[in-house]
Structure 1
Amino acid sequence: MTDTVISISHVSKKYTLGEISSRYFSRDFSLWMQRAFNQSNEEKIEKTTLWALKDVSFEVQRGEILGLIGSNGAGKSTLLKILSRITAPTNGSVRLKGRVSSLLEVGTGFHGDLTGRENIFLNGAILGMRKREIRAKFDSIVDFSGVEKFIDTPVKRYSSGMYVRLAFAVGAFLDPDILIIDEVLAVGDAEFQQKCLGRMQDLSTGQGRTVIFVSHNMQAVTSLCTRAIWMEEGAVKKQGDPKSLINSYLSAKKKVLLKQVWQKENAPGNDAIRVLSVEIKPDIVTDFELIDVTTSFTVEFTFENNSGANNISVDLMLFTISGECIFDIYSKPVITESSLLHGKCIIPGNFLNNGSYYFSIFFGKDVTQELFYFDHCLQFEVEDNRDLTTGFNKWLGFVRPDFPLFLSEHKG
């Protein structure tokens, strides 16, 4: 039997853009009267109305870590503010079971004139905890945050990093049933981010808490979340397994790009390197430019070297659409007086798994010195080959090599 701790039913949120909340009651009241009784202004009123959320419905179970992904302006932060009771929905209903702790921006819920110690007790009281409960968690909060030397300093004197360390520690250690976290972890350093991800994992699997996590770091969402929701233009576009959902999201944002050609005057690059063409050439050409797991293809590129260097090397890097590097192939340095150079690399069939990928190219001299980095210059899809597939689940891993694997009876 499932235990639903968050139930969102047909939630919409409308904002009215313009002069309302001008801080002058007479102006706001006058504008409200005009909009209420002047029918000729309907078209104007419609233009100043923004629906940040549109009929959003979903449920979250106890112990889930739910990731919210989507472009800026998709409605993620508005939804979190509604869940945190900062604002109310225009339509629909939200039901929450248990204590809710939110970290939506640096220092959420902190009073700048209070010390770190005082803010810990203040936030605990807001969550409905008794002093003895907060004292029992106090040392863990301070130890996790790493701000022990400054715990009796007003938090308005904290750096943004110290702020977010303490704010996360307060939210994560004061026994919330539901922890809501926006993109604020981007403020912390890499070590702190890993600590936060580990703590969220422990809250979910070890303590049965529920976490709502918003991030543009797709790798963090993939590794941490048990389910993800893709939001677009205020609505839920799709939900499901984080990895497959993120691949769909990133693929939709960046289209297949198998060939680019430029004239010298508008070619990408800089004073040292100008890239004139990049192309993926499948060995089997179809009208649909289809590459499946069995298809070999060639990556070719042409560039102009204006650096004056005659010791040129190139790195060809292949990434998954979510940013994991599959390989980084180095060319041997070429000593040449020619300014026009051509690169070529053959990727064999039965190597890549089905999915979305992109290439980047590093142009350098003397092996290590960067001349130009052409990021995301080619993008392509590798399709499954149904003739080779006995099931419908995607094979594990990023590569899918056709190596021989022998099995026989053991004769001992």
Structure 2
Amino acid sequence: GKMQDVSLKDGRTVLFVSHNMAAVSQLCSMGMLLQDGIIALQGEINETIDRYLIHTEQSFFIPDIKNNVHKDAYFKEIRIRDSNGRDNTNFLILEPIFIAFKIKINKNKEKYNLFCMILDHRLNRVFAAEAEMLEEEMLLRINPNFLVRGKYSIHAFINIPRQKQEDVVINVCQFEIFDNSSNLAKHGSYDYGSVVGNYTWV
């Protein structure tokens, strides 16, 4: 494209500044990470992106418990965590994502299930994961190379299937996935769905 022409034909250095990690990884071979106006890292682009993604804000949901004390069970806390157990909001497509639930169970534990759905940035339901049990601490692992790049959130509820939803949370714990390595990354911002297909050409 034009940036490459300027760099190769005119012999000039092009500085590309963006928070779009997919675009950065495709257009650049070297990267520079600025932190508080100081160069924190200068090197190969994927290493720079990895370091950038480490510096993230916490992502969690803690409800107003006083509104829930009358319920049989309710969410006390939901957090998005990385493989090291740290709160995180940004992930590479090659990384697993963990959703940690803390639940207060007052009674009838054996009747309830935990149902969790992942929503895309338009709040469409991408997939669901159900646990046919209820514990005070539960952990859901989303495997690498499943969700494509984009922004996501959580819709979860404690329920007795087809009877009632005892506690519900919608569009909480937003997180984002960046893709700088999959075969789909070459398509840039094109909307090719929400999951990486598990398929074989025969």
Q: Deviations over 1:298-329 (max 9, x none)?
A: 11101112244532211001111212111122
Shift in CA distance, 310/332, structure 1 to aligned 2, threshold 3 Å: closer
**What is residue 100 of structure 2 aligned with on the other side?**
300
Q: For the residues of structure 1 that align with 2:85 and 2:137, how far apart are their CA atoms?
A: 22
Distance 1:390 1:311 in 2: 47
Superposition deviation, residue 370 in structure 1: 1.5
Does residue 390 of the first structure (1) align with residue 186 of the second (2)?
yes
Q: Does 1:376 align with 2:183?
A: no
> Is 1:269–1:374's contact at 8 Å kept on the other side of the alignment?
no
Shift of 1:288: 7.2
Equivalent position of 1:260 in the other structure: 61
Provide the residue aligned with 1:271 in structure 2. 70
In angstroms, what is the RMSD of aligned CA positions? Answer: 3.1
Q: Does 1:363 align with 2:163?
A: no
CA distance in 2, matches of 1:379, 1:311: 29
Note the alpha carbon deviations across 1:158-195, whole angstroms, 9 max, x for none.
xxxxxxxxxxxxxxxxxxxxxxxxxxxxxxxxxxxxxx
Match of 1:212 in 2: none
Change (3 A) 1:320 1:375: same
User: Closer, same or farther in 2 for the Cα pair 1:330/1:386, shift >3 Å?
Assistant: closer
Does the Cα contact within 8 Å between 2:82 and 2:88 map onto a contact in 1? no
**Equivalent residue for 1:324?**
124
Q: Which residues of 2 match residues 230-269 of structure 1 at below 5 A?
A: 258-261=59-62, 266=65, 269=68
Query: What letter matches 1:331 in structure 2?
Result: A
Q: Give, in angstroms, the shift of residue 280 of structure 1.
A: 1.3
1 or 2 for the larger relative contact order (CA 8 Å, sep ≥6)? 2
Alpha-carbon distance change, 268 to 322 in structure 1, aligned in 2, over 3 angstroms:
farther
- Aligned residue for 2:166, secondary structure, equals strand
Cross-structure match for 1:17: none
How has the CA–CA distance of structure 1 residues 351 and 302 changed in structure 2, closer, same or farther, with 3 Å as cutoff?
same
Return the structure number with greater strand share: 2
Q: Does the alignment pair 1:351 with 2:146? A: yes
- Report the CA distance shift for 1:281/1:367 in structure 2 as closer, same or farther (over 3 A): farther
Structure 1 contact 356–379 (Cα < 8 Å) conserved: yes
Question: Which aligned pairs between 1:400-411 and structure 2 lie closer than 5 A?
Answer: 400-401=196-197, 403=198, 405-406=200-201
- Tell me which residue corresponds to 1:314: 114
Q: What is the alpha-carbon distance in structure 2 between the residues aligned to residue 381 and residue 294 of structure 1?
A: 13
For the Cα contact (< 8 Å) 1:271–1:307, is it kept in 2?
Answer: no
* Structure 1 Cα separation of the partners of residues 87 and 160 of structure 2: 39
Aligned residue pairs: how many? Answer: 144
Q: Aligned with 1:350: secondary structure?
A: coil
What amino acid does structure 2 have at the position aligned with 1:400? V
Q: Structure 2: how far apart are the matches of 1:354 and 1:341?
A: 31
In our comparison, the structure showing a higher alpha carbon Rg is 1
Shift of 1:287: 9.8
Q: What letter corresponds to residue 324 of structure 1 in structure 2?
A: N
Q: Residue 3 of structure 2 aligns with which residue?
A: none
Secondary structure of residue in 2 paired with 1:390: helix
Structure 2: runs of 5 or more not aligned: 1-56
Structure 1: which 5+ runs fail to align?
Answer: 1-255, 335-339, 408-412
Percentage identity across paired residues of the two chains: 14
Provide TM-score, normalisation by structure 1.
Answer: 0.31
Deviation (angstroms), 1:363: 0.5
